[in-house]
Amino acid sequence: MVLTRSFVRAKRPCTDGFRWFVRQFGEGGNYQAMLDGMVAAGRVGDACWLLEQFGPTDELRVVDAIEADAIVFAGTLEVRGGVDVEGVLRVGRSLQAGAGVRAGGDVQVGTDLRVEGSVRVEGDLQVGGDLRVGWGVDCAGELRCDGELRTGWDLRCGGRLRVAGNAYVGLDLQADEGVRCAKGLQAGGDIQVETTLRAAQGITAGGSIRAGMHLEAGWGIKAGGVIAAAGAIRAGESLAAGEAIRAGAGYGVFAGLDVQMEAWEASARVSAPQRPEGLMSGWWAGPAAC
């Protein structure tokens, strides 16, 4: 793909950036070569701007490993080994890595991010498709996944967590801000969210589920341990906890919000060793069956 000087000028770049572009590339050149040149010159922000203006390409680059200060690539990257980037990692289409991925800045992938090892990001992580990680994910900033999220080990997020598809976490999920999942959320261990946890479908954890504010699910909520929130607990269908169900002081526990009262015994059950304080709706069933 070739970009000309007039094409770039039509996007109304900043004066300093366009002057540098003309000095470096004259009347234009190969799109990806320009991105590489900008990154090599330390103008990573200009490279990201150019990618935002002209979008992804179908170019495929296959390499053994990546170790760089920054990467801005418009196509698909396939890496047999690991990816280690000190700053920004930006890929127009998909990124696949046979080992781990580490970035000292923000990571943005246009479609799928598939990693056999672990993912560690010191900034924000944005994935336009599915996020599939064989080991764990440690993101210091906000994590946004526009597809399905699946990790083999833990998921830790220092900012907000937003998932447009289903989310499956092999072990523990820890989020320092709110979590919103447009489908279902499942974790093999504990789910710990510092503010509000919302899922449009169900929430399931092998361990405990704890929210620092409200806990809401469009379907049911099930935990092997405790279901607890500092605010209200709301479920469209049933609630089941192996240990206890606890809402915050002055807040209620609501089950069966989307179920007709005639069907509460089957679809709005509330199960725990002890009846929750503040149970406002739902059919109390006693201890959950093992």
67-96 pLDDT per residue, tens: 999 999 999 999 999 999 999 999 999 999
What per-residue confidence (pLDDT) applies to 290?
Answer: 47
What mean pLDDT do residues 216-236 have?
98
Q: Which residue has the tokens 């989307």?
A: 258
Residue 136 has pLDDT above 70, yes or no: yes
Categorize the per-residue pLDDT at 166 as very low, low, confident or very high, splitting at 50, 70 and 90: very high
What mean pLDDT do residues 16-34 have?
68
∠ Cα 258 262 264 (to 5°): 55
Least confident of 20-24, 41-45, 141-145: 20-24
pTM score > 0.85 for this model? yes
Sheet holding 233-235, edge to edge: 71-73, 89-91, 107-109, 125-127, 143-145, 161-163, 179-181, 197-199, 215-217, 233-235, 253-254, 279-281
By DSSP bridging, strand 2-4 and strand 66-68 are unpaired
What mean pLDDT do residues 101-123 have?
98
Positive or negative, the CA dihedral 253, 255, 261, 266 is negative
187-205 pLDDT per residue, tens: 999 999 999 999 999 999 9
Residue 6 has pLDDT above 80, yes or no: no
